[in-house]
Amino acid sequence: MNLNKLLMTTALTASGLILANVQASAQEKTKPEDTEVYSPVPKVVQAKAVTTPAPSDAIVLFDGKDLSQWVSVENRDQPAKWTLGKGVFTVNKKTGGGNIETKQSFLNYQLHIEWQVPANVTGKGQGRGNSGLFLASIGKGDAGYELQILDSYQNDTYTNGQAASIYKQFVPLANPTNKPGEWNSYDIVWTAPTFNADNSVKTPAKVTVLFNGVLVQNNVELKGPTQYIGEPAYRQAHGASPIKLQSHGDPSEPVSFRNIWVREL
């Protein structure tokens, strides 16, 4: 290698290292906190859970008796291992229950679900009665579009992460969360995203949510699946998908569910 070549190689290597360092530091700077927002703070509204029985054309996903409509997300051959109680089921964080999702896949739908944070809940912020409803499950773990379930009764957190937020995308329009030990309801209208032949997004997902009968998401257009770190974007085309419930990793007492039904649109 002559001197010129050596100098050029050294310069290229150095610029490569500088570029690598710039990229690494950009990655280091992308933190979960970057996509947390604290305003607006939704106003607290008093409202009771809506307990509509399943209409005659609904697919009942849980009628209080069994978990036959649900499977383990990590292994869809396995039944859902959550805890069945009297007319309710409860997240099982202890024996490897993991997230669960419906056997069936859905595209556009109306969904009703009721959830309850236990009266003896402990913890704070995101570590207090955290679960979640993934409106479309597009893979293992938390892959999908999360409508947050959280004890947001006198429990502050980033507002795009409180109950009925579209997690890290849309702050709810109000906070009608009932206190721990009382039931809450979500009534949801979900429109799945559509995709072009090249897998780019054609029409984004849309959702409307009533929380204890109060409008909290008004036909918002999602920016993509939920992203814990960084900005959401549509990166993967998908069609009909299961509906998923989250077993969150925090140590607080687990959330319970009842009266879940869906009407395909």
Burial of 189 (0-12, 13-18, 19+ CB in 10 A): middle
Q: Is 226 in the site for Mg ion (CB under 5 A)?
A: no
Place of tokens 């085309």: 237
Rounded to 10 degrees, what is the CA torsion of 142, 184, 210, 239?
A: 30
Residue 217 or 246 with smaller CB distance to Mg ion = 246
Identity of residue 25: S
- The only residue of 130, 160, 162, 252 in contact with Mg ion, by rule CB under 5 A: 130
Which helix (DSSP H) or strand (DSSP E) does residue 106 occupy? none
Minimum distance, C-beta of residue 212 to Mg ion, in the bound complex (Å): 18
Residue 148 or 241 with smaller CB distance to Mg ion = 148
Q: Is 247 in the site for Mg ion (CB under 5 A)?
A: no
Q: Quick check: 63 and 128 in contact, CB under 8 A? A: no
Stretch that binds Mg ion, among 9-17, 125-133, 235-243, 257-265 (CB under 5 A): 125-133
Which helix (DSSP H) or strand (DSSP E) does residue 13 occupy? helix 3-29
Joined tokens for residue 41: 């703070």
Stretch that binds Mg ion, among 31-39, 127-135, 195-203, 214-222 (CB under 5 A): 127-135
Residue number with the smallest Cβ distance to Mg ion: 132
Residue 58 or 185 with smaller CB distance to Mg ion = 185
What separation in angstroms does the CA of 65 have from each of 5, 86, 89, 95, 259?
Answer: 76, 8, 9, 21, 10
142's CB contacts (< 8 A; 6+ apart) are: 99, 132, 134, 226, 228, 246
Q: Is 184 in the site for Mg ion (CB under 5 A)?
A: no
Residue 162 or 191 with smaller CB distance to Mg ion = 162
Residue 130 or 259 with smaller CB distance to Mg ion = 130
Stretch that binds Mg ion, among 25-33, 80-88, 151-159, 246-254 (CB under 5 A): 246-254
**Maximal C-alpha separation, the chain:** 84
What mask, x for binding Mg ion by CB under 5 A, covers residues 161 to 180? --------------------
Residue 111 or 201 with smaller CB distance to Mg ion = 111
Residue 148 or 201 with smaller CB distance to Mg ion = 148
Q: Is 99 in the site for Mg ion (CB under 5 A)?
A: no
Q: Is 132 in the site for Mg ion (CB under 5 A)?
A: yes
SS3 readout for 57-73: CCEEEECCCCCCCEEEC
Q: Quick check: 208 and 189 in contact, CB under 8 A? A: yes
Which residues bind to Mg ion, rule: CB under 5 A? 130, 132, 246
